[in-house]
Chains A and B, each alone.
Chain A
Amino acid sequence: MISAKKKKFKSAIEYEILLLPALLGFAIIFLYPAVKSIIYSFTDFSVFNRTISFIGLKNFIDIFHDDRLTAAIKNSTLYAVSFTVLQSAFAIPLAVALDSKIKTRNILRTVYYMPHIFSALIIGYVWSFNFSTSSFGLINNTLKDIGLGFLAQNWLGDPRIAIYSCIFVAVWQGTGYAMMLYVANLQSIPREMYESAVIDGASPFQSFRHITFSFLAPAMTITTLTGMIGGLKVYEQIVALTNGGPGYATETLTTALMYRGFTENRYGYASALAVIMMIGIMIISFIQLQILSKREDKLL
């Protein structure tokens, strides 16, 4: 009995040891900086300030009185929610279409997935050129050439629409990735479900609504969760497209964080913002997971 227990313990330890390198990496790369950041958030730490003083909750209180940060929170929320919803809204129909037996489906899947391969920074710079209001701007010039000049816009320069242009680029780049997740999920739905639905007289829309849409719950959980987290911490793309401008019109939590940290050299303040962001993302992700898991449980 003891020997069996010992054996079990030994084998468990062996597995734990295998996990050690990954845990060590996680601790060094994530845990240590995160804990340090939490500590810094209660100080006036700046790389140019040699004496670090503990200032309690001052950084956190200041954040809630900072008008620019309120705008950044609003922009980040708008960006994350719109991106998450639109990404799935485009990806699901695309996945359904490309799960059918059309001949070009593999080529099309590759084409739609392709933007996801590139860095957000590169995509941002490419779209910055496309959106440019200069004589060489691709979109506005194309619109003018085809007689639709009245649709030309100051895509990234108009403070009222700049954030929507950024959301468009994010959806353009992220839809292919979500589509692949949905395609994989679609292939796991038993065909018999559709056959019995047809026998029961269900219309294609009813089949989609009650079978496809319901059974896509696992992919939807991953897509919406990663979409929301990615949207809330978007940085590279905004830097490449607008750098948070014009003025502060497309400032997001992360661009504001970098500005406060590395331009204004207020590391303690920026750390406090990072802590708020981390807690916010954790709460939102937790709520999302609760709701979406319940939806998944219904399938069982």
Chain B
Amino acid sequence: MKKPVALLSSCLIVFSVLSGCGNGSGSNDSTKPEEQDKNKVHISFETTHNPALFAEFKADFEKKNPNIILDMTYIDDNNNNSAAKLAAGTAPDIIGVDANRVKGGFALDLTGQPFIDRLTDTAKLSVQEPDGKFYKVPLDTWFQGIMYNKKIFAENNIEVPKTWDEFIKVCEKLKAAGIKPISAGNKAGDVLGKEAIGVILSTGAINEPDIEAGKATYSERWKAGLTEWYKIVQAGYEGTDSFGMTVDDMINEFLAGKVAMIDMGNWQVADMHEKAPDLEFDTMPYPSVEAGQDRWIVGGSGGGFGVYAQSKHKEEALAFLDYVMTPEGNALYIKASQGGPTVKGVETEIDPSMSGVSDALEAGRVYAPWESLKKIGGGAFIRTWFKINQELIAGGKTVDQALKELDDYVASQLNP
């Protein structure tokens, strides 16, 4: 009796599976969109932003380019993953471009593309190669400073500090009030590595052309700034505790009101508002080494994106760049990324939680040293700096030794 039942069940299962695989001739209407999609070209774009926030941007792009589907995928480490994919010949159609990738012939030459002229002057300058060519365009500008909880600052009568000394005093005051002053999710070394750079920038930001030309070293140019920044480690407000925390841990602490300040930037703002809509916070530029010096924020054009030279969908990828370089496309992109515009004629209002850095933004006091390197790979450079900075924090190196190691690394890349 059992056998026929088993046989019948098996037949039913097989039938149901096969019917699921069929063309479904009786339901032509429901499969039509899928068939339509099959004729469209998929282009891949890996981003460090949350793709869900770009729904409006994606929909508008696909509406204006009905033959293309944009596949945006989140990736937490653009440099390493893309490098592996480049090596394997499976890189996405839109790739982040740096000096190494231009040298290796992975980036399509964009010189002469009509969208290049739509870039703002500063954006254009940031991506132009020394020989005048273009291999990338910045989709937005990113920036970061020190975010602070406005309520905590107001309740403790704290003014936004202008110098690093004042900043350390703010930490002292907050600690005395029983509040954790600053949190850093520095497991990957990026948070405090960038914070140190933020302070260093006030002592003279743009050094990279001289360093790549062999006219200067980081040991000379960064020493005063790094020595000053290191005082916060010596004071105990930032230290090895930060290595046990991720960026998410740090943001969650800030959103829960458990800490007064964190180092963070525009790309997290939309997510932060969504998670904690009632939290009021603003962002300050990095305090300067000495009183009266300009205060900077760390940021840039994200290195810029170009088209993978071996992509099978170059035309479609170019159409994507063309779209982002229109005022409408750029406006929708930065609406999601919370970054700054890179195209002329885009009017944006800075999010109130970043209004504290608007002066620095308007004055152009935004700089990311590694994005200005033209001869050596910026991605590898900054990751090396993050590791060195972690060793400095852990006490394994002095300021001088840390900077010497960075100089050695630069030399090894310039003269392999």
Contact = CB atoms under 8 A, between A and B. Distances in A.
Interface in A226-266: 242-249, 258-259, 262-265
A243 B246 CA distance: 11
B83 A263 contact: yes
Most buried by A among B86, B259, B390: B390
Interface residues of A, number: 37
Given A134-B252, A136-B253, A156-B187, A263 B244 contact: no
Interface in A150-194: 154-159, 162
Interface of A is mostly: loop
Interface string B152-167: 0000000000000000
Interface stretch (A14-22, A42-50, A108-116): A42-50
Given A136-B253, A245-B387, A248-B387, A263 B245 contact: no
Nearest to A248: B387
A128 interface: yes
Contacts of B183: 134
A259 B250 CA distance: 25
A142 to B, nearest CB: 15
A265 B384 CA distance: 13
Contacts of B240: 154, 157-159, 246
Nearest to B243: A157
B188 A245 contact: yes
A44 B245 CA distance: 37
Contact of A48 (B101, B249, B250, B252): B101
Q: Which residue, of B244, B253, B387, has the highest number of chain A Cβ atoms within 10 A?
A: B244
Given A159-B240, A262-B80, A50 B416 contact: no
Contacts, number: 117
A132 B246 contact: yes
A44 B379 CA distance: 20
Contact of A262 (B83, B106, B256, B259): B83
B292 interface: no
Contacts of A162: 243
B396 A159 contact: yes
B304 interface: no
A248 B391 contact: yes
Interface in A28-58: 44, 46-50
A47 B253 contact: no
Nearest to A259: B383
Most buried by B among A50, A132, A162: A132
B245 A245 contact: no
> Chain B CB within 10 Å — which of A132, A134, A158, A245 has the most?
A134
B245 A134 contact: yes
Interface of B: 79-80, 83-84, 86-87, 100-101, 103-106, 180, 183, 185, 187-189, 240-246, 249-250, 252-253, 256, 258-259, 377, 379-380, 383-384, 387-388, 390-391, 393-394, 396, 416
Interface of A: 44, 46-50, 128-129, 131-137, 154-159, 162, 242-249, 258-259, 262-265, 267
Given A50-B105, A245-B387, 18 more contacts: A47-B87, A128-B187, A129-B249, A131-B244, A132-B246, A132-B249, A135-B180, A135-B256, A135-B259, A158-B244, A159-B396, A242-B243, A243-B187, A245-B187, A245-B243, A246-B390, A262-B80, A263-B83
